Structures are given as C-alpha cells and as structure tokens.
Amino acid sequence: MVTYDHRVTDDDLVFKALADATRRHLLDRLFERDGRTLTELESELEMTRFGVMKHLRVLEDAGLVVTRRQGREKLHFLNPVPIRLIHDRWIDKYAERRVSALSELKTRLEGRR
C-alpha cells in the first residue's frame, strides 16, 4: 500500500493559484506590464476591491506575485520562478519523450529522401 504525505507544498500553492481564471488574468496583466497598483488591476475586473485583494493574496502566498511599497502605493510584480519550477518538474519531463520521438522520426524521414 502506498501512502502519501498530505502536507501542502509550494507546488500545491502554485497549482491552486493557477487553477483560477481570475488569478491567471491578473498574472497576464502583470506579464504585460509589471509594477501595477491594486487600483489598476481592479479596474480591469468586474469584482470588488476586496475580491481582487483576496486573489492577489493567493498569488502572493504561492510566490507568483511580489509586492513593493512605493510611497502610499503597493506595487505588484510578477515572479515567474514558481511557474518555471512547475514546468521543469511537471511538464518538461513528460514532454521530453514525445519531443525525442518526434525528433527521431524527423531524422528517419529525412534520411529516406
């Protein structure tokens, strides 16, 4: 019988954060232009300021967004590192065999000409 450790990991927090369309939208906006205020981010969504703050908190907890105070404003910045770590851990290793197989097929087909 296999047992699993049910503690919440960094990967779990990132997957949870990315599972929501609103949070992915916020990340896309920060990708387009980093250093946005809550007011800027809120203006693009049809939800309350408090709702946007809750989504940003989930993104911060996952390490996907970092903040910096500038005077009275709090600026939000995208941190792509957790997404890259997810890619390296969960996506890249599964795609490698397919890419290798396609590369090998291409080489064989080109060799037959």
Divide the 113 residues of the chain into consecutive groups of 10 and give the mean pLDDT of each group: 68 94 97 96 94 98 96 96 88 71 78 64
What per-residue confidence (pLDDT) applies to 100? 72
- CB proximity list for 86: less than 8 A, separation 6 or greater: 11, 14, 15, 18
What does the pLDDT read at residue 55? 98
Per-residue model confidence (pLDDT) at position 57: 97
- Confidence at residue 96, expressed as pLDDT on a 0 to 100 scale: 67
pLDDT of residue 3: 61
| pTM (global) more than 0.85 | no
How many Cα atoms are found within 13 Å in the side-chain-facing hemisphere of 51? 10
| pLDDT of 4 | 58
Q: Domains of the chain by range and CATH?
A: 10-111 (1.10.10.10)
